[in-house]
Structure 1
Amino acid sequence: MAKLFEPTKVGDISVKNRIVMAPLTRNRSPGAIPNDLNVEYYRQRATAGLIITEATAITHQGQGYANVPGLYSKEALDGWKRVTDAVHAAGGKIVVQMWHVGRISHTTLQPNDGKPVSSTNRVAKAKTYLVNADGTGSFADTSEPRALETAEIPGIIEDYRKAARAAIDAGFDGVEIHGANGYLLDQFIRDGINDRTDQYGGSIENRTRLTFEVVDAVVKEIGAGRTAIRISPVTPSGESYDSNPQATFANVVEGLAKYDLAYIHIVEGQTGGDRDYKQGDNPAFDYKALRQTYEKAGGKADWMVNNGYDRDLAIEAVEGGRAELVAFGKPFIANPDLVERLVHNLPLNTPEQSTFYGGTGKGYIDYPILEKVA
């Protein structure tokens, strides 16, 4: 049996295999409240060693796409409690990905139709998902943001702390802080977005400050062994760019090494499977060097890799010690029983892309599940 399929402990969380369901935005929680469809969707996938939920807004201000769930209302937390109960009853473990989208939002999704907030007031050349008056969904340009005032930032950190506590109270086994893919924390980290002149802008140390302050607040609230983070050193999502990602993210992982986190989740390359993606004239990012930097700084968290992995690549990554955990995204959309299929090297269902965002149970909870293989 390959090591990929063996049980392990991830921080304080015991898991039955090293296969992780990656966070996947599906836009099926109207009112930001998890519902019966969401309960069944996650229950079906509880054979994953660990489920990471779809990105979930920590506040109304952190919301950036229509019909994605939240962590900021009693109704949403009650809905999530039903999800976590169902996953645990099926023998699974589940963490929530805590999300503040920053500038990747639209005024119609914000409190009082206000501007989204960011490290900058420059609009992202990006799209967000809205629901039209007739109930259909469509993609629209993001709205112009406003730069957070320095005095507002402690409130953002407090929002993360409160969301982490709410998540644990709702039955989650832990949290993953979303620091990737061009959302709020990434908007502070990358110099291609962050144009601030206060203590949160300019140098690498200043640009990474907010991320460390958030991690520190969450760790103090729920413990390092139930805290994780996702980063994406070169992913261009949300019009993200950094002039020296190797140096920037070396600083990030050196700072994270101070905490005994459950895991660090690395998006390798550009989402969609291009792990060799590079930005501008920069050489391809050196992920091996990034981990070496982390370990040299004393970091001990499990290393989770993600982006276009298949069975063979995942087995190779874990057997070779390059990663302890491998996260699968699209394969879990179409294969609720992905673990069983990978264990026995069986064919995979093909996901129907037209059903990825919004809709009903079609393309969500109706993919065929194989009979149990002896």
Structure 2
Amino acid sequence: MGRKRDRAAKGRPFGQRNRLHGGFRRRAALRIIRCLYTHKAPALRGEIPMIRPTLRFGSHGADVSLLQSALNLWTASRLAQLVPDGQFGSKTTSKVKEYQGFCKLVPDAIVGPKTWGMLEALIAQLVGMATPPPGDKPASALGDSVVAAAEAALLRWGWTTSSQPSPSNERIAAALCANPASPQRPRQGGMGLQKIFQDANAAGAYISRCPTITAAAVSKWQEMDAGNWRNANDLCAWCGIFCIYVYRTAGVHVPGGWAQHSKNVFDSTVFRRITDYSSVFPGCIGVVSGIAPGGRNHHFIVTSNGNDRMESIDGNAFGPDRNDKSKGNKSVIARNEYSYAALRQETAYFLAPVSAA
């Protein structure tokens, strides 16, 4: 009963992203996804994700196709794209092991509840691909996709005024320990933060530090001038990483992710720079550059612009209540707002999306 084994996607160079745009394969994959998943992912609605079967080498069927399609959206992979043919063979085994190792799970190639749990965000992206954007999608329409992705991240991982640190709470507060009594000292929302870092293609050293936090790091997060220490011993400021994660999740063309940001920011095929605040549209990345050497450099996703004021969703925000610094730094995903006057004071500029991936 010879089993079919996976094969790399035909007609594409090794490692090239297999975009599910057009053709029989895309339509077949999306039919499978619609059958296996609702139009709104349970994880994004705060509901308990549906129970999925345990998969391993030799498994076959629609759930394997869903697994393969989700893994193809994992941008940090160093392996070739999979053909979502529903056959769990050697290439799917290697891809699953790679993903499990990245997520600090046992790399046994057995897809059980923990592995499915880490895949839910990728599966949610697949649902959003039911009507994928064309390559010539207008910038404003790309911006709408960006805002939707930012709102989804806020809904799943955003910290609220009622949130409390707990290993069972996936909401992110990167400056806090979820359980100081644990020898492992899990970072609050560390696994979600790790996904943001890895999908944005941040530096590997930071990706590996996301799941845990030392007592010294917790203290240093409360010091405004301890950035160099945190960069060397814990995490860098991740507001820009969050923005690139959102762009890549929304299907915006950002080659190389955060690792290439210092180059992309000057590349007109990746970003269009805007300095006229009235021309900024939802989905642009705001960059507050600081008015003096050493001034803060903060990035955010614009969600609305009007009446000389912009609203936003920020990563690495001080706290959930409009950055109320009196309550200490939590390093969270939260809503924020900026007046034009404040933006001018801090020489802000904006980056607009140019094209779909």
Larger radius of gyration: 2
**TM-score by structure 2 length?**
0.27
